[in-house]
Amino acid sequence: MRFYTLYLQDRTTLKRLLSVTLGIVLVVVVGAVVPSSANNKIQLLKPVRLPTAVGAGETVKVIPAKWTKSAVRTYKWYVGGKLVKSSNTLNFNTLASHQGKYLRVREFAKFRGGVEMSSRSFAVKVGEIQILNEPSLMFSDADMKSATLTLPDFMPGNVKVDISWLKNDLPIQGEDKATYTFRPQDSGSLLRASLRLQRDGYDSREITTEGIEVPTSFEAETQLLWADEFNATVGASPQMSNWVPQNGDGSAYGIPGWGNGESQWYLWEQAQHDGSGNLVIRATRTGASQYDCYYAGNCQWISSKLVTLSKLHVKYGRISIRLKSAQGTGTWPAFWTLGTNIGQVGWPKCGEIDVVELAGKTPFTVWGTPHGPISGGPGNGGSTQLLLAAHQEFHTYTVDWYPDRIVWYVDSKPFYTFRKSENEADWVFDDWQYLILNLAMGGGFGGSIDPNLSDAQLSVDWVRVYKVNGVGAISTP
């Protein structure tokens, strides 16, 4: 640190200098201390507030701000951002014209010593019912046979609540209680509750709960519409009144290998009754070489494919089959449907429902798949596992086809649901479909065929079509 000494010869100059310096010091001291002793010791602890909910035509009482010192208070009210003249008291009367506009208040506090400070509230929309928590749905009991709605808390109180129930987002007529008991036709549906809130001076408001899925049950009201029980004598061919063949390797239809790279040539004669109540489709290498397949001249396999096109068409309902699968790596049994409009719109726009697909290479797995214009070849399906291989015993494979969903079952147990509401662009299942039963060999799904495999057979006990819960129809052109 360095010190400098100022020598002044003129005492007058020294006095002037001291006077100016003292003035500067006084100005600095006064500017720093006075605000500290006034404003800085007054603190806002809580801002001025309005009630959570305000209705039109109500008297609103402000909740004053909390300061560290007492004060004289006045208020200014704003509606829609505009100052309401001649309104400077603690209470404010809202008008019908204020509904839908935002209300705000500003408090002006005058303290001793002439200090003034202010606080501004958050805005509240006039006529808006406030929902303090979300409504919810839950199963009413362990049996999951009904659902109960838990109402949310509201501001203000005394709100009228009208309840309605939605199944797959469509209203259920006549249901307006807080508990809804499931009906057979609700099986597998997505259930929601819708609430309409009303009170005078407030805008009505509607809210909808999250969905709850009704447990899928095979139990339903059914009416048999059509069946083939396969009770003909041994060696008899399928009934021509129900089925027609699609012979060949697919080339005649413009899809060699049936569009999947399959190895078989289909023949009507390869499907025969066994005299014990079953239709047996037999795939074999024997005799295949006399047919000319797309891939190598002589065919490697012959089998059979039956369809109900022009004989039986189905629209919605339950489609079910009981069968024992073929054994052997490379086998590909399937029971499925195609849209009868395939000749006009093509595949996959016509829609395809694979009631069941099985593959010898994975004998414990069952697949159920819909194919539409978006999902195409891969489809959009599900699978499940069997305890015993599909070729070891008979199983029942079923779909329940509704206007809003398709549900897949094995032995009455659901394993997959395809919903229209979740797949609008891929849903092309509101038109007639025909049934298809076949045993393919190889192809993209069946995979490589065991070179040591020479024969395989698919046994079908019956095929049935039902109306389910009042839904479903057949046509016999």
Share of the chain above pLDDT 90, in %: 83
Q: Is the pLDDT of residue 22 over 70?
A: no
Q: What is the DSSP letter of 184?
A: G
Q: Is the pLDDT of residue 258 over 60?
A: yes
Q: Is the pLDDT of residue 14 over 70?
A: no
**What is the fold of 131-213?**
Immunoglobulin-like (2.60.40)
Question: How far is residue 127's CA from residue 219's CA, in Å, rounded to a whole number?
Answer: 48
Question: How far is residue 60's CA from residue 415's CA, in Å, rounded to a whole number?
Answer: 57
**CB count in 10 Å sphere of residue 354:** 21
Question: How far is residue 184's CA from residue 346's CA, in Å, rounded to a whole number?
Answer: 36
Question: How far is residue 81's CA from residue 395's CA, in Å, rounded to a whole number?
Answer: 72
**What is the fold of 47-125?**
Immunoglobulin-like (2.60.40)
Question: How far is residue 406's CA from residue 412's CA, in Å, rounded to a whole number?
Answer: 14
Average pLDDT over residues 395-414: 95
DSSP codes joined into one string, 260-306: TTB-EEE-GGGEEE-SSS-EEEEEESTTGGGSEETTTEE-SEEE-EE
Question: How far is residue 115's CA from residue 40's CA, in Å, rounded to a whole number?
Answer: 10
Question: How far is residue 282's CA from residue 303's CA, in Å, rounded to a whole number?
Answer: 6
Q: Is the pLDDT of residue 10 over 80?
A: no
Q: With bands split at pLDDT 50, 70 and 90, how would you rate the model's confidence at 40? A: low
What pLDDT does 191 receive? 94
Question: How far is residue 333's CA from residue 326's CA, in Å, rounded to a whole number?
Answer: 7
Average pLDDT over residues 337-353: 97
In order of 21, 47, 169, 347, the CA distances from 366 in angstroms are: 99, 66, 31, 23
Average pLDDT over residues 60-71: 95
What pLDDT does 31 receive? 28
Q: Please identify which residue in the block is written with the tokens 């495999």.
A: 453
Question: How far is residue 184's CA from residue 400's CA, in Å, rounded to a whole number?
Answer: 12
Mean pLDDT of the chain: 90
pLDDT tens track for 127-175 = 999 999 999 999 998 888 899 999 999 999 899 999 999 998 899 999 9
Closest to 149 in 3D by CA, of 207, 235, 62, 104: 207
Q: Is the pLDDT of residue 23 over 80?
A: no
What pLDDT does 27 receive? 30
DSSP codes joined into one string, 403-444: SSEEEEEETTEEEEEEETTT-GGG---SS-EEEEEEEEEBHH
Of the two residues 257 and 16, the one the predictor is more confident about is 257
Are the beta carbons of 311 and 241 closer than 8 angstroms?
Answer: yes
Are the beta carbons of 140 and 146 closer than 8 angstroms?
Answer: yes
Q: Is the pLDDT of residue 28 over 70?
A: no
Average pLDDT over residues 227-244: 97
Q: With bands split at pLDDT 50, 70 and 90, how would you rate the model's confidence at 219? A: confident
**CB count in 10 Å sphere of residue 423:** 17
Q: Is the pLDDT of residue 30 over 70?
A: no
In CATH, the architecture of 222-475 is: Sandwich (2.60)
Are the beta carbons of 251 and 294 closer than 8 angstroms?
Answer: yes
Question: How far is residue 238's CA from residue 280's CA, in Å, rounded to a whole number?
Answer: 10
pLDDT tens track for 287-341 = 999 999 999 889 999 999 999 999 999 999 999 999 999 999 999 999 999 999 9
Tell me which amino acid residue 358 is.
Answer: L
Q: What is the DSSP letter of 471?
A: B
Query: Can you tell me whether residue 183 is helix, strand or coil?
Result: coil
What pLDDT does 215 receive? 87
**Residue 406 phi/psi, 5° resolution?**
-130, 130
Model-wide pTM > 0.85: no
What pLDDT does 39 receive? 55
Q: What is the DSSP letter of 467?
A: E
Pairing of the two strands 160-167 and 170-171 = antiparallel
List, by residue number, the catalytic residues. Answer: 352, 357
Question: How far is residue 62's CA from residue 107's CA, in Å, rounded to a whole number?
Answer: 9
Contacts of 198 (CB under 8 A, 6+ apart): 159, 160, 162, 204
Residues of the chain with CATH 2.60.40.10: 47-125
Residues of the chain with CATH 2.60.120.200: 222-475
Average pLDDT over residues 262-266: 98
What pLDDT does 41 receive? 85
Q: With bands split at pLDDT 50, 70 and 90, how would you rate the model's confidence at 15? A: very low
